[in-house]
Amino acid sequence: MQSLASFVLFAVLAAPALAQTPTVSLLIDNGFPSTGTISLRSVLDSVAARKGATFHFGSTWDTSYSSAEASWTTNVYNTFFNHIVAENGCKWQSTEPSRGTSSLTQCLGVQSYAVARNASFRGHNTFWHSQLPSWLPGSVTASDLVTNVIPQHVQQEIQGMGSGVTSWDVVNEIVGDGVSNGMTALQCVQNKNDWPTKTADGSGTNLVTDLSFVHAAFSTALKYAPASARLAVNDYNTGGNDAKTACMFQVLADINANAAVPYNRLAVGFQSHISAAPGQFSAKSDLANNFAKLAALGANAMITELDIKLSSATSANERYQAAIWGDYLDACLYASNCFEFINWDTRDDLSWIGASGAGTLFDTNGNPKPAAYEVAARLQRYASGATELCATALGTSQCTVPAGGSTTSSSSASSTSSSSSSSTTAPSGPTGCQSAEWGQCGGIGWTGCTSCVSGTTCQTSNAYYSQCLP
């Protein structure tokens, strides 16, 4: 019966007419705040307590911000985010303007800003084909690049930034967009039509003809990065059940095998520059499956650059955006190996996609949008100990994670009755059991005990969560 209630609530309510924004159900419709100031720092501490490790919930910053921008961001980083990445300040262009010269002023500036906010810092990035210094690609040969240039750059940047880095994007965007299933790691990377796989003259000529540049970057990163830092391959258009995501696994396996980087140091960064339109984002179930596959290897998953572009900032689109944001966040929160979730750019007018894309959590006046309240609600709900929700942006038919929390195969997922019985981690059952003090005892999707140990009573916090309170 609980499953049925959940099905009704999460079903897409509007007829999926073409170009019509799906109507979604949100936590902010069901007892969680949708107005007012949002304070997340203590919620994030509670999320960390449940996860057993810090949950890094962040966004971008750069030393180039105006004082007006910086005064708003300072408030948002003191209260909302607990994690910061430089949008530009740590890229090769900024960090090695002439060959052999280490110039970490901007990158260190962002790290110091993070420290002053009591926030953590992640490194983005040591290798990318774009935003290069003017001396690159130039006339550097393949062997000079692999033997000298990349190791020197990766070493001086990673060493220079020291221990206060949670993760490094060691290589950024090295997989092609025209890949197909079954490609080897080399084929995946050779499919990329950019330097250094190709020469920089646009002729399509191969420059580095193997994966030695990737291995050079990773073996250097492994040597100089702090032992706790996750070392990532970071890319866009990934996270679904698709060929590019399959390539990420191929590349990761190759790095593990040929650069001798243990899986427990490796991560895939799912950039997630997506749009709030059907088919323009990954199903939560696909994200969950990819994260679980990485967990099975011992590797980490992270959402590194999430923004969700809108065709226009209508209320229906903003609600759809909130649902997708919530689903991406839940996919990470409920994964055993996802500890970093970065929202790319803090507010719409600071976003690289432009204010009209309305792709961030805060509007051009700096006010929280429905997505900001929804992510606050998802964090709060997770911190309270509640079990995982189905995807709200896609409806229950897409849900492969039953209320008990274990990921199931998609074949068993579409039936609401089998999904609750296939759970392996749900509490033993609704009859004859009692939840402990502070434990959950009800709410939509809950399949565990619905009565409480003596001395406590089951009280409804909101539609999704009831708790045994003394």
Ligand X SMILES: *[C@@H]1O[C@H](CO)[C@@H](O)[C@H](O)[C@H]1NC(C)=O
Q: Which of residues 55-74 bind ligand X (CB under 6 A)?
A: none
> Between 117 and 230, whose beta carbon lies closer to ligand X?
117
Min dist. Cβ of residue 160 to ligand X (A): 24
CA gap 86, 361 in Å, rounded: 18
Q: Which is nearer to ligand X, 118 or 459 (CB)?
A: 118
By the rule CB under 6 A, 118 interacts with ligand X:
yes
Cα separation, 26 vs 319, whole angstroms: 8
**Could you tell me the two tokens for 362?**
């805060």
Separation CA 230–CA 83 (nearest Å):
15
**Cα(174)–Cα(211) distance, rounded to whole angstroms?**
10
Instruction: State the minimum distance, in angstroms, from the CB of residue 45 to ligand X.
Output: 5
By beta carbon distance, the residue nearest ligand X is: 118
Choose among 332, 326, 329: nearest CA to 370: 326
Neighbours of 411 (CB within 10 A): 9
Q: Establish if 177 lies at the interface with ligand X (CB under 6 A).
A: no
Considering the rule CB under 6 A, would residue 75 count as an interface residue with ligand X? no
CB atoms within 10 A of CB 458: 18
Nearest in space to 233 (alpha carbons), one of 271, 272, 262? 271
CB of 82 to ligand X, least distance (A): 6
* Residue 171: closest CA among 226, 251, 104: 251
**What three-state secondary structure class fits 456?**
coil
Which C-beta is closer to ligand X: that of 56 or that of 378? 56
Nearer to ligand X among residue 119 and residue 246 (C-beta):
119
Nearer to ligand X, 57 or 224 (CB): 57
- 39 makes contact with ligand X (CB under 6 A): no
Count of residues interacting with ligand X (CB under 6 A): 2
Least separation in angstroms between CB 407 and ligand X = 29
Q: Which is nearer to ligand X, 101 or 118 (CB)?
A: 118
Cβ–Cβ under 8 Å, residues 363 and 329: no
Residues 217, 170, 271, 359, CA torsion sign: negative
From residue 343 to residue 372, the character string flagging contacts with ligand X as x (rule: CB under 6 A) and all else as - is: ------------------------------
CB of 382 to ligand X, least distance (A): 16
Instruction: Please tell me whether residue 45 binds ligand X under the rule CB under 6 A.
Output: yes
- Cβ(117)–Cβ(71) under 8 Å? no
Query: 300, 165 in Cβ contact below 8 A?
Result: no
CB of 306 to ligand X, least distance (A): 21
- Whichever of 77 and 270 has its CB closer to ligand X, that residue is 77
The whole-angstrom separation of Cα 348 and Cα 198 is 35
State the minimum distance, in angstroms, from the CB of residue 58 to ligand X: 13
Q: Alpha-carbon distance 220 to 212, whole Å?
A: 12
Q: Output 82 or 396, the one with its CB closest to ligand X.
A: 82
Instruction: Write down the least CB distance from residue 52 to ligand X, Å.
Output: 14
Residue 54: CB minimum distance to ligand X, A: 7
Q: How far is the CB of 385 from ligand X (least distance, A)?
A: 19
Looking at the Cβ atoms of 45 and 144, the one nearer to ligand X is 45
Please give the residues from 206 up to 225 whose contact with ligand X meets the rule CB under 6 A: none
Report the C-alpha dihedral over residues 158, 167, 221, 95, rounded to 10 degrees. -30
Q: Indicate the residue type of 263.
A: Y
Cα–Cα distance, 231 to 252 (Å, whole number): 10
Helical packing angle, 243-258 and 212-224, nearest 10°? 60
Q: Which is nearer to ligand X, 45 or 177 (CB)?
A: 45
Q: Where does this chain bind ligand X (CB under 6 A)?
A: 45, 118
